[in-house]
Structure 1
């Protein structure tokens, strides 16, 4: 465990809009996040006119441009009305939404997207643009879900697998500090994956549980040292469904922070099974922190 303090830089906030209600709600949520960070909000509309130019008339392209700019203006006005002191700027991009958002985020920006785009068909499911943004991002991405479910709890939840999640947990700690709330670290381990067989599980259950708790406590101790004023709670659970436990835990959470697993065999470069499930079914906004290429594993 690296003992050096590595406070993550929470950069500007970039919100993608497409005219849908979830995107508008996500943009207002992003504005509140930008205000907490004391950073500007950058609103992006990816019109994809470069591709459409091959198939659309000049008049049709002009209508697309006009609609996009009107959408940006109206969204910025709605943000300014609720957050009058927040610096807001807009960008009409000729590229598609996904590369537009990735480019706008640069090295340190946080991308915020809604839980469903204009072409979505189910309010529970993440739209294809949001999924691609999350899968390919090299900077943090927040998918805004569950913001109509009640008052804020003041709790930020970090999903912790092992010490490789220390950087992810640092991001969660910074978010908890900004909210003047508390941080909850949750580690979920699969019984059968850890044991290998029923026989070994029955023989070694205490040793296996102790090993998992050790990894969790190591992360918690480091975070407490780096964020001494922050209340940090730890919880370890055994289950056959990591995603199921995290989805249930998201009921009492303002923000769930987790690492985006780099698994080339599943949905692009970053999304594993548990991550994918959380993005579709969590009851609160989910923040993904891109993992480094040298970190392995396919759990979340």
Structure 2
């Protein structure tokens, strides 16, 4: 068992339909990137209350079942992606910690919306949230089941607030180049109220504010876009709520890319309200890039 995976793409599997979808998406992504895919199946042996002999037997049974599940998943992916370099490990520990450790030197981590341990009513499981909140590398949360040959969606959408989002923009441009898709960079803003009690700013103020936001968007996008001349980029400035705008844009997207602005506390799940809402409601896979 290797706690740290080789550099490449890492995906968590547990036999659930969301995890299978995530593994298939990860295989397609690893193929596009020309890098290996490493699967992690974490299991909690949970035998501390049993007698030593019974506990050891139960642990062995759990681990054998886990190895069978992993082998089955690896076999399916190998058959569907014969040129892909595949490895995998069964890790007897907490699933989120196992994935975070495996992804320490990875290019990308991939998770499903929720696994067998999650409640059906939850749109996103605790493991996916913890990995997304704490990973050192970008994390993609796969929503839905990817097409076997190609993704649906006509573009890659990325949220751009200011220059701190350059890493997310670069991730979006690389992803779009790999898919031969255009990028739509969205900068959302809400007009400020200049004086207390006034419902809307004066026209001149609104025009100046819009100009400043346009300038901020261009100064963020243009330097990064120069490195990807083959990718068509449409930078748009929109007024309105960020989360709602991004969720609506995700209807036609192959991938939605957002930034995770600050490292979460060790045991916290602070992802920001917009990122949290997008993870729960987007219509396509969501990439969360730490910046």
TM range (shorter): 0.7 to 0.9
Further displaced range: 114-123 or 249-258 = 114-123
1:85 is paired with a residue of what secondary structure? coil
Q: Is 1:209 matched up with 2:203?
A: no
Q: Name the structure 1 match of 2:49.
A: 55
Partner Cα distance (1:19, 1:90) in 2:
14
With over 3 angstroms needed to count, the CA separation of the structure-2 counterparts of 1:224 and 1:121, relative to structure 1, is same
Further displaced range: 254-263 or 161-170 = 254-263
Identify which of 70, 79, 86 aligns with 2:77. Answer: 79
Partner Cα distance (1:206, 1:245) in 2:
21
Q: Name the structure 1 match of 2:4.
A: none
What is the alpha-carbon root mean square deviation over aligned residues? 2.4
Measured against aligned partners, the alpha-carbon deviations of 1:253-300 in whole angstroms (never above 9, x if no partner) come to 0001111132769x8265000000111110000001112xxxxxxxxx
TM-score by length of 2: 0.88
Q: Name the structure 1 match of 2:158.
A: 158
With over 3 angstroms needed to count, the CA separation of the structure-2 counterparts of 1:86 and 1:151, relative to structure 1, is closer
With over 3 angstroms needed to count, the CA separation of the structure-2 counterparts of 1:123 and 1:152, relative to structure 1, is farther
Measured against aligned partners, the alpha-carbon deviations of 1:164-222 in whole angstroms (never above 9, x if no partner) come to 11111011111111111111101111335x75756384122111111111111112211
With over 3 angstroms needed to count, the CA separation of the structure-2 counterparts of 1:208 and 1:69, relative to structure 1, is same
With over 3 angstroms needed to count, the CA separation of the structure-2 counterparts of 1:123 and 1:175, relative to structure 1, is farther
| Paired residues of 2:91 and 2:98 also in contact (CA < 8 A) | yes
Alignment of 1:117-266 (within 5 A): 117-122=115-120, 125-147=123-145, 152-192=152-192, 197=196, 199=198, 201-203=200-202, 204-239=205-240, 241-262=241-262
2:60 is paired with a residue of what secondary structure? helix
Q: Which ranges in structure 2 are unaligned for 5 or more consecutive residues?
A: 1-6
Q: Name the structure 1 match of 2:3.
A: none
With over 3 angstroms needed to count, the CA separation of the structure-2 counterparts of 1:207 and 1:55, relative to structure 1, is farther
Identify which of 18, 24, 27 aligns with 1:28. Answer: 24
Partner Cα distance (1:253, 1:170) in 2:
17
Measured against aligned partners, the alpha-carbon deviations of 1:231-255 in whole angstroms (never above 9, x if no partner) come to 000111111x211110000000000
Q: Which ranges in structure 1 are unaligned for 5 or more consecutive residues?
A: 1-10, 292-300
Further displaced range: 219-228 or 195-204 = 195-204
Partner Cα distance (2:140, 2:214) in 1:
28
Partner Cα distance (1:171, 1:198) in 2:
42
The structure with the larger Rg is: 2
TM-aligned CA deviation for residue 116 of structure 1: 1.8
Aligned length: 277
2:201 is paired with a residue of what secondary structure? helix
| Paired residues of 1:159 and 1:187 also in contact (CA < 8 A) | yes
| Paired residues of 1:147 and 1:285 also in contact (CA < 8 A) | no
2:226 is paired with a residue of what secondary structure? helix
Q: Name the structure 2 match of 1:282.
A: 282
TM-score by length of 1: 0.85
